[in-house]
Amino acid sequence: MTGTTPAVAESPRALTSPRAAARRTPAPVRTAPRFDPQALRARWLQVASEDPAALERAAEVGVDFSPASGRVWETDDHVYLPVVATYRRGERIEREVLMLALSPERVVTLQPSRHYPIFDKAIARMRRTPRLTQTSYGVTYALLYALNEAAERVIHHASDLLEDMSDQIEEATLGYDRRGREIGVTDMQGTISRMNRAEEIVSSTQESQLSLARAARHLRSEIADTDPVLASLVETLIADVDGVKEHASFEHDKVRYLQQAIMTSLDVKQNQIVKVFTIITAVFLPPTLITSFYGMNFTRMPELEWELGFPWVVLVTLVAAVIPLVYIKRRGWLR
């Protein structure tokens, strides 16, 4: 005989136990903050330097950039931070000075135009991390982060310029091109000009990083201990700014070394040319002296009436040319 297993009924105590209730009750779902453009506009005011209306709006919130005039300036409500922006636009490297007016309520940026391409990176960062828009300090962090990223791309561009010139630099240091022809100063003018351009780019980036590091340290001091998470992000940003600055210093030293190597190679080549002319002058100076002596119009010159006078003068001239040549060769000046 077959039978079915009776269902086991749960006891009232089991139905009302806290553990069972916890299994039945769904846990609350935590929603991450979403990016709010209105909140960002409340925290960040962009002022174009050539827009009088924007300057008036900044004045309404107590911001006046004129006393700062490109230096760190503090008032009762704001701290003004100058930042040098270095970024790449196509094949050109642009350099501009921005001003940030920072207060606990908002940050105001004085920039060349209403839409500043560098800050697109900052907006993207705030979209990924919406909590940054909750305070003016978070928005300022995103702006400095974008400026640092732009400077890093400039340094990579300068490094790529040097890599593209590696073959030309190698030929310059060796002194010969691929066809075995000696390279002169005229052949290296284009390479030297591009290297000077790379040095200028790196120097501009170094200046930019100094201003960024100063602004980031001021931001860290403003945050203090009010927001440990944001303070940690700013500490990481300061380390990144220093890292880009060290990279720029390395590239600057590299450019200087290559410039010195090329100039040394060209100086050696010019010295060799001068040495060749010096040797030629030393070899032909004694024969020239003898020729000048016998070119004088004296009334009485016995050698003119001597039968072996001409062969003797030729022999003396040849010996006078060989003696300095032998001396120069023994001294090793021909190497």
**For residue 129, what pLDDT band results from cuts at 50, 70 and 90?**
very high
pLDDT digits (tens, 9 = 90+) for 198-250: 888 888 898 899 999 999 999 999 998 889 999 999 999 999 999 999 998 88
> Mean per-residue pLDDT for 86-115?
90
Maximum distance among all Cα pairs of the chain, rounded to whole angstroms: 162
Report pLDDT digits (tens) over 59-80.
998 998 888 877 888 998 999 9
pLDDT at residue 21 tops 50: no
Domains in the chain with CATH codes: 37-271 (no CATH), 272-331 (1.20.58.340)
Q: What percent of the chain has pLDDT over 70?
A: 82
Q: Assign 3-class secondary structure to the chain.
A: CCCCCCCCCCCHHHHCCHHHHHHHCCCCCCCCCCCCHHHHHHHEEEEECCCHHHHHHHHHCCCCCCCCCCCCEECCCCEEEEEEEEEEECCEEEEEEEEEEECCCCEEEEECCCCCCCHHHHHHHHHHCHHHHHCHHHHHHHHHHHHHHHHHHHHHHHHHHHHHCHHHHHHHHHCECCCCCECCCHHHHHHHHHHHHHHHHHHHHHHHHHHHHHHHHHHHHHHCCCCHHHHHHHHHHHHHHHHHHHHHHHHHHHHHHHHHHHHHHHHHHHHHHHHHHHHHHHHHHHHHHHHHHHCCCCCCCHHHCCCCHHHHHHHHHHHHHHHHHHHHHHHCCCC
pLDDT at 8 over 60: no
Contacts of residue 42, defined as CB under 8 A and 6 or more positions apart, other chains included, come to 106
Rounded to whole angstroms, the Cα distance separating 208 from 148 reads: 9
Please answer whether residues 189 and 260 qualify as being in contact, where contact means their C-beta atoms are separated by less than 8 angstroms.
no
More confident call, 334 vs 268: 268
Instruction: For 292-306, give one letter per residue: b (16+ CB within 10 A) or e.
Output: eeeeeeeeeeeeeee
User: What is the pLDDT at residue 318?
Assistant: 86
In this prediction, residue 32 has a pLDDT band, given cuts at 50, 70 and 90, of low
Q: What is the pLDDT of residue 263?
A: 77
The pLDDT assigned to 16 comes to 47
pLDDT reading at 95 higher than 60: yes
Question: What's the confidence (pLDDT) of residue 5?
Answer: 42
Query: Is 155 exposed, middle or buried (CB count within 10 Å of its CB: 0-12, 13-18, 19+)?
Result: buried
Whole-number pLDDT of residue 301: 73
Q: What is d(CA 233, CA 231) in angstroms, rounded to the nearest whole number?
A: 5
Comparing 268 with 199, the larger pLDDT belongs to: 199
Q: Please state, in angstroms and as integers, the Cα–Cα distance from residue 328 to each residue in 193, 318, 319, 334, 335, following that order.
A: 39, 16, 14, 7, 10
Q: How far is CA 187 from the centre of its chain?
A: 26
Write out pLDDT tens, residues 162-200.
877 777 767 666 666 666 666 666 666 777 788 888 888
What pLDDT does residue 235 have? Answer: 95
- Place 295 in a pLDDT band, splitting at 50, 70 and 90: confident
Dihedral of CA 74/75/79/82: which sign?
A: negative
* pLDDT classification of 22: cutoffs 50, 70, 90: very low
